[in-house]
Amino acid sequence: MAREVRNITVTPEEAGQKIVAFINRRLGETVPQSAVMRWIRTGQVRLDGGRTRPFVRVAAGQSVRLPPCELRAMPVRTAGPAPPFPVIYEDDALTAVNKPSGLPVHPGSGWSDSVQTRLEAACPGASFAPTPAHRLDRDTTGILLIAKTFEKLRELHQLFRDHRVGKEYLAWVAGRFPGDPGRFTLLEDNLEKKGPPGLERMQTGSGKQALTEAYVLRAGDGASLLRLRILTGRTHQIRAQLAARGHPLIGDRKYGGPPGAIMLHAWRVTLPDLILAWPPDWTGEWAVAAGLPETA
């Protein structure tokens, strides 16, 4: 229980957040968000000594006053080992890792383990816990961007909204995929969720537009290796578009693919000032490390 007034200084990593988000991140689940909103609106929260509004953004070095409050008991989080992800790139504000298969980016129904929870466990004392800037499906491997400051997280979100982040995937699909040699083919569909509760999947229909470019790297009667550029960010976009053409991903049983591990890897991410590439660790007949396009 915090029975005394608390004064918190905004760190550089936290700068740029709305004050309600700043307080929620600092207090976690120990105080309901509704209580934080009430504190701000009734003047119990002070920013550099003055009243404020919920969506004012805080700056590094500012002081936030919190009123005495009853804190919920939370389990103690102990420091753990560094997350077992190969680090592809790192600077003061950004880390890029190779996400393994079978691990969701965020915790959800039936899945407490995730990239986010592992990052938080590895950084228990951080004023801003490193945060994934986008999603990858649970069984998709490959490059995942993680912001180490709120300012970087906001910058990356804006880049994604402005379609200034290029994302490319490698995928093995069932059958001989048609395509013009030496050029990308545009896959254009409208996708919507269909099916009974708990068994829904994305299918072509009258939903949101999905655009993907496909380039055939290898083609065979049994399977083809594709290089894929996604131009929109729909749920299960690649999986649904390929399945709709009779070429589901190898291992994607939900969308009609043959058994095995899902062969989909986020291999390349292009930012305005940075290009990252990381080949999949597929082996045997699925190995693709040799002959991949240059990253420059």
Q: 87-153 maps to which CATH number?
A: 3.30.70.580
Q: pLDDT confidence of 190, banded at 50, 70, 90?
A: very high
Q: Is 210 exposed, middle or buried (0-12, 13-18, 19+ CB in 10 A)?
A: buried
Q: What is the pLDDT of residue 72?
A: 55
0.85 exceeded by pTM: no
Q: Which of 137, 139, 189, 252 is catalytic?
A: 137
The ranges of the chain annotated as CATH 3.10.290.10 are 6-66
Helix (H) or strand (E) holding 20: helix 19-27
Whether the CB-CB separation of 99 and 86 falls below 8 Å is answered with no
More reliable by pLDDT, 82 or 153: 153
Q: In the beta sheet, which residues pair with residue 143?
A: 98
Each residue's pLDDT tens digit, 228-263: 999 998 889 999 999 999 999 999 998 998 888 899
CA 158 – CA 154 distance, rounded (Å) = 6
Could you give the residue range(s) of every CATH 3.30.2350.10 domain in the chain? 165-286
Residue 71 has pLDDT above 90, yes or no: no
pLDDT digits (tens, 9 = 90+) for 74-109: 444 444 444 568 899 999 999 999 999 988 998 876
Domain 6-66 has CATH 3.30.479.30: no
137 carries an active-site annotation:
yes
Structural fold of domain 165-286: Pseudouridine synthase (3.30.2350)
Q: How far is CA 191 from the centre of its chain?
A: 21
Tell me how far apart the alpha carbons of residues 254 and 252 are, in angstroms, rounded to a whole number: 6
pLDDT, one tens digit per residue, over 175-187 is 999 988 789 999 9
Burial (CB < 10 A; 0-12, 13-18, 19+), residue 121, is middle
With bands split at pLDDT 50, 70 and 90, how would you rate the model's confidence at 21?
A: confident
Helix (H, G, I), strand (E, B) or coil at 174: strand
pLDDT confidence of residue 247:
96
Lowest mean pLDDT among 59-63, 119-123, 219-223, 249-253: 119-123
Q: Boundaries of CATH 3.30.70.580 in the chain?
A: 87-153
**103 with 114: CB under 8 angstroms?**
yes
Per-residue pLDDT at 74: 44
